[in-house]
Amino acid sequence: MPKGQWTGKDGHFSTYLPNYSNGLLSAATTTTTTMTLAKPVMRGLLTAQIKKNLIVASGLSVISVLGWKFFFQYPRMQGYADFYKTYDAQKEFDRIRNLGLFHGSCRRDMVQLCGSL
């Protein structure tokens, strides 16, 4: 017999254990132990599962928000603050204008041809 068999008619789980006497396996003398399985809890199961899932989802969402805030948002804000501490908008405008990328204004060396700024 295989070790552990499900017997369907009485709802018991039977285990067949061999008897070792004097160090020898005796096939004729096997002991059978039976135990009953507890009935599953069905009343309120959906409510309990939903409550557990909501708690887990809420915890994971709080962890995700805090992770995003501390690992992405704050470093980005600090990077912008560091950049704009030394940023000179007029200097950047003059650099781009002198490259000739603006269509509405002339380069410094071509001011006489375009007229006054």
24-39: pLDDT as tens digits: 555 555 566 778 888 8
What's the whole-model pTM score?
A: 0.47
For range 46-50, the mean pLDDT: 94
The verdict on residue 43 lying in a domain is no
Q: Which residue has the higher pLDDT, 42 or 116?
A: 42
The amino acid at 57: A
For 35-52, b where at least 16 C-beta lie within 10 A, e where not — what string? eeeeeeeeeeeeeeeeee
Based on the domain organization, do 54 and 86 belong to the same domain? Answer: yes
Is residue 56 domain-resident?
yes
Instruction: Answer whether residue 109 is part of any domain.
Output: no
Residue 32 forms part of a structural domain: yes
Burial class (CB in 10 A: 0-12, 13-18, 19+), 31: exposed
User: Does residue 108 form part of some domain?
Assistant: no
Establish if 111 belongs to a structural domain. no
For 72-87, what is each residue's pLDDT tens digit?
Answer: 999 999 999 999 999 9
In a domain, 115, yes or no: no
- Distance, in Å, from the CA atom of 61 to the CA atom of 73, rounded to the nearest integer, reads 16
CA–CA distances in Å: residue 65 to residues 13, 17, 62, 94? 48, 55, 5, 42
Q: Are residues 57 and 93 in the same domain?
A: yes
Name 18's bridge partners.
Answer: 30
pLDDT at 16: 55
Domain coverage including residue 23: 5-36
Residue percentage of the chain with pLDDT more than 70: 62
Check residues 99 and 116 and name the one with the higher pLDDT: 99
* Number of folded domains that form the chain: 2
Assess whether pLDDT exceeds 90 at residue 40.
no
CA distance 25 to 18: 7
pLDDT, residue 53, reads 98
